[in-house]
């Protein structure tokens, strides 16, 4: 395996581990804050899924934004959507949504 592909694999593993740690931290915060007096907190959005993100990207790609999408994926450290950290889905979609139709 080349140094670059080893590095890419390591980066992918680090992102996956970071997402898992974030999920555990969120769970711990929820679990232990349940004992505190109830506070009014904003409604949490459900986490985006790979399939939801893929559907939006596919639609934008059909409208002529394939190159921009590829560039945005690389900006977030991924060559393809399946390599993108789930924690980056929301930010990526925010940037993709503002792309104007090429037609």
pLDDT at 61: 93
pLDDT at 34: 66
Q: What is the 3-state secondary structure (H, E, C) of the chain?
A: CCHHHHHHHHHHHHHHHHHHHHHHHHHHHHHHHCCCCCCCCCCCCCCCCHHHHHHHHHHHHHHHHHHHHHHHHHHCCCCCHHHCCHHHHHHHHHHHHCCCCCC
Model confidence pLDDT, tens digit, residues 11-52: 888 888 888 888 888 888 888 876 655 555 566 778 889 999
Domain boundaries, the chain: 3-97
Q: pTM here?
A: 0.55
pLDDT at 15: 84
Model confidence pLDDT, tens digit, residues 45-101: 788 899 999 999 999 999 999 999 999 999 999 999 999 999 999 999 999 998 886
């Amino acid at each position: 395996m080349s140094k670059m592909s080893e590095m890419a694999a390591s980066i992918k593993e680090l992102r996956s581990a970071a997402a898992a740690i974030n999920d555990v931290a969120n769970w711990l915060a929820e679990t232990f804050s349940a004992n505190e007096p109830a506070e009014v907190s904003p409604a949490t959005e459900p986490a985006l899924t790979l399939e939801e993100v893929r559907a939006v990207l596919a639609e934008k790609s059909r409208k002529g934004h394939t190159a921009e999408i590829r560039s945005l994926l690389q900006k977030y450290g991924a060559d393809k959507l399946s390599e993108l950290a789930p924690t980056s889905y929301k930010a990526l979609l925010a940037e993709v949504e503002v792309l104007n139709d090429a037609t």
